[in-house]
Amino acid sequence: MIPSIDEQTLKDEIARLETQLSAARAQLVTTSKANVSDHLTPNGLSASSNAHLPNHPLLLLSDSALPLGSFAFSSGLESYLAHHSTTKGNPSASENFPQFLALALTSLATTTLPYLIVAYKSPEKLRDLDAELDACTLCPVARRASVAQGRALLTLWERALKDDAGESPAAKALEQFSKAMKPPQSQDDEEIELSGHFAPIWAAATSAMGIGLHESAYTFLFNHAKAVVSAAVRASVMGPYKAQGVLASGLLRGEIQSAMEANWEKVVEEAGQGVMMLDLWVGRHELLYSRIFNS
């Protein structure tokens, strides 16, 4: 007998919870003082100090060297600068930058965070979420960027990450998604196929790798901030030290946290563009006379 969808969903849920439970148990074992053994690793580190080690998968996924092609048309920065360079008496590009960064984070959070959260909690909905997010991503430049990064992460998952991630509903969902992916569809194709948008795939991959939901969402937004800042360096808006200063700042942390709070309880139907200007800047990237960012 083929189990009904509900049964399957429940089984998946149980499997997921069991995975979490065993992970938690393993952690308890390593943290518990009672279990401190004198077993030493080759480095001389006690197993008990594992609890103080950083989250390995998180370090991996927050690395700017991750091959995701995350310049993403500079997330609208280059176009924003071009649209503000002609106005006389305008503050300089580097003075404008914090404002742009805040807008970019707000926009990313209002448009995609609800999808990330649902995809994390219910990876079996990955295909539906991808289709729905595609219907909501109307700016062609933004769509190209999101799909390019999502597909790059999917490839990375397939080729490099999945072997060590083990089994989980999220891993299963990614595998099915990957199989179902068709070649890229033309933009005005009416048949809805899988696109491979970034946020839901990121959510499934982070879940499959045992990263917590809050960490996943924070890292997603922080990675975006890093991409925008690195685009700013490349566009000579600021030097590398100033750039690191921006990334280290409490201001940026605050922006990320408030963007998370503002969108945490939303259902996907409530996602939408929070910064209308960003669609215009990003959409008009194609009109720039000279471009540093062509992808």
Which residue ranges make up the site for another protein (CB under 8 A)? Answer: 79, 82-83, 85, 99, 102-103, 106, 110, 132, 134-136, 138-140, 143, 187-190, 192, 258, 262, 269-277, 279-280, 283-284, 287-290
The answer to whether the beta carbons of residues 119 and 203 sit under 8 Å apart is: yes
Q: Residue 250 corresponds to which tokens in the numbers above? A: 């409490």
The tokens 């970034």 sit on which residue? 198
* Spatial CB neighbours of 243, under 8 Å, sequence gap ≥ 6: 229, 230, 232, 233
The answer to whether the beta carbons of residues 252 and 101 sit under 8 Å apart is: yes
Which CB sits closer to another protein, 106 or 219?
106
- Closest separation between CB of residue 226 and another protein, Å? 22
Identify the three-state secondary structure at position 41: coil
Cβ-count burial 197-233 (b if 16+ within 10 Å, e if not): bbbbbbbbbbbbbbbeeebbbbbbbbbbbbbbbbbbe
- Closest separation between CB of residue 38 and another protein, Å? 53
- Closest separation between CB of residue 155 and another protein, Å? 25
Which CB sits closer to another protein, 246 or 275?
275
Which CB sits closer to another protein, 6 or 269?
269
The answer to whether the beta carbons of residues 47 and 30 sit under 8 Å apart is: yes
Name the residue type at position 231. A
From 149, 138, 132, select the one nearest 194 (Cα to Cα): 132
- Closest separation between CB of residue 180 and another protein, Å? 17
Which CB sits closer to another protein, 139 or 232?
139
From 228, 231, 232, 206, select the one nearest 217 (Cα to Cα): 206
- Closest separation between CB of residue 214 and another protein, Å? 19
Name the residue type at position 16. R
The answer to whether the beta carbons of residues 281 and 84 sit under 8 Å apart is: no
- Closest separation between CB of residue 265 and another protein, Å? 12
Which CB sits closer to another protein, 74 or 79?
79
The answer to whether the beta carbons of residues 84 and 290 sit under 8 Å apart is: no
- Closest separation between CB of residue 283 and another protein, Å? 3
